[in-house]
Amino acid sequence: MQVLVTGGAGFIGSNLAEGFLDAGHRVVVLDNLDPYYDLGIKEHNLEVCHEAGDDHFEFVEGSTTDEELVDEVVASNDVDVIFHQASKAGVRTSVEHPKAYNESNIDGIVTVLEAAADHGVDRVVNASSSSVYGVPEYLPYDEDHPNHPKSPYAVTKLAAEHYCNVYDDLRDLSTVNLRYFTVYGPRMRPNMAISNFVSRCLNGEPPIIYGDGEQTRDFTFIDDVVEANRTLLETSDADGESMNVGSNDNISIRELAEYIVAETGADVDIVHEEAKDADARHTHADVSKAGELIDYEPTTDIREGVSKFIDWYEANREWYEPLVRNS
């Protein structure tokens, strides 16, 4: 199939692109190489895709807000399915720069949907987020939970979902929204709890927890996210749906830090600093809907996944660590 992955130089997008290439599909990545973190990581991600795909892989540098470019990429490549991963990331940063997030994340999805509808794309799979739920009225979150986004980032993710639903209804374009719950794993971006904790512990520095550490997260291993997206190349059962993609488990940030300290053998004490604005207190996914529609079943729990990430980090430390520490 002809697959377009927007934001395909990033962590999740590059893992999707690599997986599709390994399965024999032709993949085009569109990415503006936003320097939100050290671009060396994104450049490495693209090298991995080139190695996986050879002449079945193409990289186009540019933004999803560039209407002419997006239209040309979709039309000239006869794209079958678009996996829209491109968006400006970061809950905390969005509080400081809401207009930038609005432009990137909302204008971007509309441009992609327009091009998809105009050129007969079979499906757009949109990367949404657990942040659309906001403060939990109950846990685990199911898809019927009220949406009360608490940051500009979360607002843009919810708006993108609504745009997908509108295009599904009005333009006869199949769309699916996947609500990711804190994705982690090899090549993950540096400014996240797991990558920060592991990097600091391996360098004899204490992990820093913002707040009391009793906040909990549903962490999702990247391989499970790739499998959920891969399934949507084939099944038609999910048309017009939004669904959670999580681990069906959660862990407190304090427990996570303690586990990483133990696994790395670091002789350090955990440090606490003031909590950050807009951070969610708890997340926990009910993934039964994804199980019913796309046979989604998470395979990696947080402790197993963290151990895998530590092993990968140590094996790739020479190139990865300087970029993490520089971000």
The set of catalytic residues is 153
SS3 of residue 59 by DSSP: strand
CA distance 6 to 91: 20
Residue 197 contacts residue 263 (beta carbons within 8 Å): no
Q: Cis link prior to 298 (omega < 30° from 0)?
A: no
Query: Cβ distance 113 to 163 under 8 Å?
Result: yes
Helix orientation angle between 193-202 and 317-325, rounded to the nearest 10 degrees: 110
Q: Are 52 and 18 in contact (CB under 8 A)?
A: yes
CA dihedral 279, 217, 133, 289 (to 10 degrees): 160
Query: Could you identify the residue written with the tokens 């990430």?
Result: 309
CA distances from 80 to 85, 259, 277 (A): 16, 43, 40
Count other Cβ atoms within 10 Å, centred on residue 145. Answer: 17
Specify whether the CB–CB gap between 9 and 42 falls below 8 A.
yes
With left for phi above 0 and alpha for psi between -120 and 50, is residue 204 left, alpha or beta? Answer: left
Question: Cα(222)–Cα(16) distance, rounded to whole angstroms?
Answer: 9
9: CB partners within 8 A, 6+ apart: 29, 31, 33, 42, 43, 45, 46, 59
71 Rama class: left (phi>0) / alpha (psi -120 to 50) / beta: alpha
The two three-digit tokens of residue 306, written as one number: 């963290």
